[in-house]
Structure 1
Amino acid sequence: MPANERTPLVSNNDNGLPSHNGQSSHHSEPNIITSLYWILTCSWINVLFVFVPLGIIAEYLHWPAIWIFSLNFLAIIPLAKILGDATEQVSLRLGQTLGGLLNATFGNAVELIVGIVALMQGQLRIVQTSLIGSILSNILLVLGMSFVAGGLFRSENTFQQTAAQASGSIMTLGCITLAIPAAYHMSVKSSTMLSGNLEKLAQLNSPIEPP
């Protein structure tokens, strides 16, 4: 049908959403409402959002610690997923290098926040066990589950040589940063010398410790 003075400037598609210049709305930039709707309905895990206000209320009403921990633990799950989805969407615009750096940084945001809060409250043992658990989980659990998943569906797995070398180097570096303070702790007998030098040694190892 040729265009005339009654032809609308903005046509509607089958979904009732406007499409400009004859293009489908699937190719247009999503607005804020569409993005929020997708975030809230993209997964069944978002049902756990109800625990976010409950966790805040439990803290202000001074509920038992077990209830506060349980409610906030469940609230972290959908928030961590949304953070991961948002990071992936941003990384698509930034490119492979910056996107990988962004994923590595915000992928551990929950552990980083918990570690900072624990340090502010003087809970050093919690920070230490959190770091050790994170390193062991990434080195052993994630790697082992990858081997199991690959072996279930493929008779022979192929790996990228550069990525395998980088992962091996990071694993070796992580083992070294954990072994040096432990070896120093076992070799030094004086408690005065141990406390001061061990703290300096840990500070020197922290910049090169893998995330």
Structure 2
Amino acid sequence: MVNKLFLILVLAGVPLSVAGSLMHWPSVLMFIIYCLTIVALASFMGRATESLAVVLGPRIGGLLNATFGNAVELIISIFAIKAGLIEVVLASLTGSVIGNLLLVGGLSFFMGGLKFKRQKFNVYDARHNAGLLMFGVVVAFVIPEVFAQTMSESETISLSVGISIILIALYLAALFFKLVSHRGVYQSNEGGAEGRHEEPEWNKKIALTILAAATVAVAYVSENLVHTFHEVGETFGWTELFIGVIVVAIVGNAAEHASAIIMAVKNKMDIAVEIAIGSTLQIAMFVAPVLVLVSLLFPTAMPLVFTLPELIAMVSSVLLIIVISNDGETNWFEGLTLLAAYFIMGIGFYLI
């Protein structure tokens, strides 16, 4: 039923997005059409990566889900940088971090916990991810803010570029560690075997084709979505900060939202956690640095400097998810705790 609804939204949304952009329909109407179309396309990306996860295993499946899910955010952000909306991009990165950790993680733990009393996942991965989260968010994002206080604008950009290169190098090293040099060393004790007997919805070739087609469609819709932000913000009284932290982050990460919850309800917590936390790591250690480097190609370069509310929200989210997930198991109440933290931050960003 839900899959049919998303299919209808894609078949209707993509043509309407093209027609509306060519005929210059009202921005608020097009904003709604673009968002629904991106969410529907993201659901196909989620189903395709779920099929690949069955074939390739939870780690690679979760990584693919995070990568293609974050591709949406990356595409939206590049067009936003091109339009000079640096504040929106930084806010959307903040929204992705707190959204993946608190909203996606919280909904996954909560929905899965309603069905299963206790859900376990690979504790070694959880502890490994905890260290990377502390580095990727707490260290790499706080340091530029501290040093930028006594630096000129050009020096701040240089610092951001240097940190970005280090982040990308460490992220690639982390992938090599998990997928090559230490693959299988810290094996999950949970029934990964059951995933091997499950039939994927689509075979590898079809899944990859759907992923590619959906990504191209999302790129087109996202470019047009960015141009509606200003008028939509004025119409609803939303600030660029709120649009970036809440709206763009939720729309841009719709694929992870859907897939992580589905996996949690199926008690495949290794994949659900890999999507939520792995996606956050990819945002902090790859997407954000890439955007800094890409911004050098445009008139306005983007420094890796966030506002104080954004920094505190991200650091708090990281500390909370580490405390909750470090034991390798979770329940519905812990998920509800993460969701409560997300809504508190959402209220704060709305009122700023």
TM-score range, shorter chain: 0.5 to 0.7
Measure how far apart 1:72 and its partner are. Answer: 0.8
1:39-63 residue CA offsets vs partner (Å, 9 max, x unmatched): x984423232212211211111112
Aligned partner (choices 33, 44, 47) of residue 5 of structure 2: 44
Q: Which residue of 2 aligns with 1:80?
A: 42
Amino acid at match of 2:159: L
Q: Does 2:157 align with 1:199?
A: yes
Measure how far apart 1:153 and its partner are. Answer: 4.7
> CA 1:113 to 1:97, structure 2 compared with 1: closer, same or farther past 3 Å?
same
Aligned partner (choices 131, 136, 143) of residue 105 of structure 2: 143
Could you tell me whether the CA contact under 8 Å between 1:118 and 1:127 is conserved in 2?
yes
Q: Which residue of 2 aligns with 1:122?
A: 84
> CA 1:96 to 1:156, structure 2 compared with 1: closer, same or farther past 3 Å?
closer
Q: Secondary structure at the match of 2:152?
A: helix
Measure how far apart 1:107 and its partner are. Answer: 2.1
Could you tell me whether the CA contact under 8 Å between 1:177 and 1:205 is conserved in 2?
yes
Matches within 5 A, 1:53-202: 53-149=15-111, 152-173=114-135, 174-185=137-148, 187-188=149-150, 193-202=151-160
> CA 1:164 to 1:91, structure 2 compared with 1: closer, same or farther past 3 Å?
closer
Amino acid at match of 2:90: Q
**Please, which runs of 5 or more residues in structure 1 have no aligned partner?**
1-39
Measure how far apart 1:114 and its partner are. Answer: 0.3
> CA 1:149 to 1:78, structure 2 compared with 1: closer, same or farther past 3 Å?
closer
Share of identical aligned residues, percent? 35
Larger radius of gyration, structure 1 or 2?
1
Distance in 2 (alpha carbons) for counterparts of 1:100 and 1:144: 17
Over the aligned positions, Cα root-mean-square deviation in angstroms equals 2.7
Could you tell me whether the CA contact under 8 Å between 1:54 and 1:71 is conserved in 2?
yes
> CA 1:77 to 1:183, structure 2 compared with 1: closer, same or farther past 3 Å?
same
Amino acid at match of 2:146: A
1:100-150 residue CA offsets vs partner (Å, 9 max, x unmatched): 432221121211110121122232222111111101112222333344445
What is the count of residue pairs matched by the alignment? Answer: 167
Distance in 1 (alpha carbons) for counterparts of 2:114 and 2:55: 34
Distance in 2 (alpha carbons) for counterparts of 1:176 and 1:120: 28
Amino acid at match of 1:89: S
Query: With structure 2 as the length reference, what TM-score do the two structures score?
Result: 0.42
Amino acid at match of 1:46: L
Query: With structure 1 as the length reference, what TM-score do the two structures score?
Result: 0.67
> CA 1:206 to 1:141, structure 2 compared with 1: closer, same or farther past 3 Å?
farther
1:57-109 residue CA offsets vs partner (Å, 9 max, x unmatched): 11111122212211111111111111121223234444555434322211212
Measure how far apart 1:159 and its partner are. Answer: 4.0
Distance in 2 (alpha carbons) for counterparts of 1:155 and 1:83: 30
Could you tell me whether the CA contact under 8 Å between 1:139 and 1:171 is conserved in 2?
no
Distance in 2 (alpha carbons) for counterparts of 1:41 and 1:157: 25
